[in-house]
Amino acid sequence: MKTIGLQSEPALDCRQVSVLRPAALLLRAGRIIMLSRAASWAIGAGAVACALLFVPAVHANHQGHLSHSDGEAHTAVGAGHSIPGASFQIFLGSGNDTAAETGLTQADRSAALETVREAFAVLLQHRNDYPRFDESLKKEALARVVIETTVVNDEGRAFPFLVARTTQPGRVILLISASSLKENGYLHHPNTLAPVLAREFQWVASKADTAPKPKMVAGERALKSAPIRTDQDIAALSGEERVRLLQQLLGSYLRTVDDQRSLDGQSYYEVGSTVLLAPTHPDSTTKLYEIRVREALQHIVREPFFWERTPKTVRSLLNGKVWTVAFVNIDQRDWATRTRVLPEEKAVIVGARDQRVQPAAILVNTYRTAAPDDPFYPDTQGLPMGALSAEQLARVIALEIQHNIQEKSMAGHVAQDALTAPK
């Protein structure tokens, strides 16, 4: 099956944009930079004529593993705790935070250790049900697990889990926040924690993978001539006027197929069906889903429902912020959708007014289903993304953009995507 490669954390040069999906720490110049789950797609752009490229590499809640100082320096206390059948050990962090600061007692830390050990025992007993976990075990990708009182980035944001690369190629560290385990009610409930823990292993597998990265081919975009409108202009347009503007943008810079054409030759779903069908031509599936995306985008910009419920989405599709909305085939990722936004320092100038924007890519993982914590979960009715009607897809895309378009320098997956890209 043709998929977009995971080793996609490409360089952010002036000619391309690449996409990945979350989580981890990258060791650079003596620092491990913590990044997000939830992915790891990075977007880069050019100053005059840019290209948007996709190479996927995060988690349903869309949180990010952001930068973290001295990731290798997580101090373990005492001997490691072994788990029968696992090559890695579990360690307690130094626990310098006081109970007054975190609300975590020594008894809580001990309970976190025991709960995590028992949760891993559950995963080992059912490893065939968790392919990412099983893959990581076979490759001995996890060097160790460290339970910290809290896990935070350099900006002070707390995260329940983070994956950190080590100096050893193909080996990573999993950091777990004991405070988060307590807050979310996981202490003394290993069976509940086990599937949550298992989801983190898509990031373990990704960050440990050292396979060669695929080459990119850039697609040119007409930036200066793009008919960019202001938010005030967009608000004053009728639904049909917005559709006409959307068509102009599709002819300018807005893409509805990923540049790697990851769906060429792949199977497809009929609307409402979970049965995969073989394509009649090599590009049949790609064309089918491009048409469906374009129909969904027209629904979003035309229908009053979306302007009332997700106005940020309508504006973002028409004001230059979104550069790509596409179905993709990312077999190595379990998420259903992902948004990738270029950080502020990589923003580009578009349109006759020389508007400065942070381009975004909206990715729909064709063969994946929504997770219960996805905002659009009820709209999908348990169907794979590729089986959704244009109307259902419109709601999925609208909620994805509304919830995840960000313009904060180095925030969320934005930070992760930028920092994981090899220089």
DSSP calls for 329-383? --TT---SEEEEE--GGG-EEETTTTEEE--EEEEEETT-B--TTSTTHHHHTT-
Cα-Cα-Cα-Cα torsion 109, 114, 120, 121, nearest 10 degrees, comes to 180
Mean per-residue pLDDT, 226-231:
80
Q: What is the mean pLDDT of residues 1-20?
A: 37
pLDDT digit string (tens) for 16-72? 333 333 333 333 333 333 333 333 333 333 333 333 333 333 333 334 333 333 345
DSSP structure string for 64-110:
-----TTGGG-PEEEEEEE-TT-S-EEEEE---S-HHHH---HHHHH
User: What percent of the chain stands above pLDDT 70?
Assistant: 70
Q: Tally Cβ neighbours within 10 Å of residue 1.
A: 9
Torsion of CA 315, 318, 320, 325, to 10 degrees: 100
Mean pLDDT computed over every residue of the chain: 76
Does 262 or 217 have the greater pLDDT score? 262
The answer to whether 178 and 125 have CB atoms below 8 angstroms apart is no
Distance CA 359, CA 345 (A): 12
Record the tokens describing residue 256, joined without a space: 């509805």
- Higher pLDDT: 256 or 204? It is 256
At residue 231, the pLDDT reads: 87
| Look-up of token digits 């003596």 | 30
Tens digits of residue pLDDT in 251-296: 888 999 998 899 999 999 999 999 999 998 899 999 999 999 999 9
Residue listed under structure tokens 């009182």: 149
For residue 226, pLDDT over 90 is answered with no
Question: 411 falls in which pLDDT band (50, 70, 90)?
Answer: very low
Write the CB contacts of 219 (distance below 8 Å, at least 6 apart in sequence): 51, 52, 53, 255, 259
At 350, is the pLDDT very low, low, confident or very high (cuts 50, 70, 90)? confident
What are the residue boundaries of the structural domains of the chain, listed by start? 231-420
State the residue for tokens 């695929």: 214
Confidence band of 77 (pLDDT split at 50, 70, 90): low
Q: Quick one: pLDDT band at residue 95, thresholds 50, 70, 90? A: low
Contact 4/54 with Cβ under 8 angstroms? Answer: yes
pLDDT in tens, 381-397: 999 999 999 999 999 99
pLDDT tier for residue 225 given thresholds of 50, 70 and 90:
low
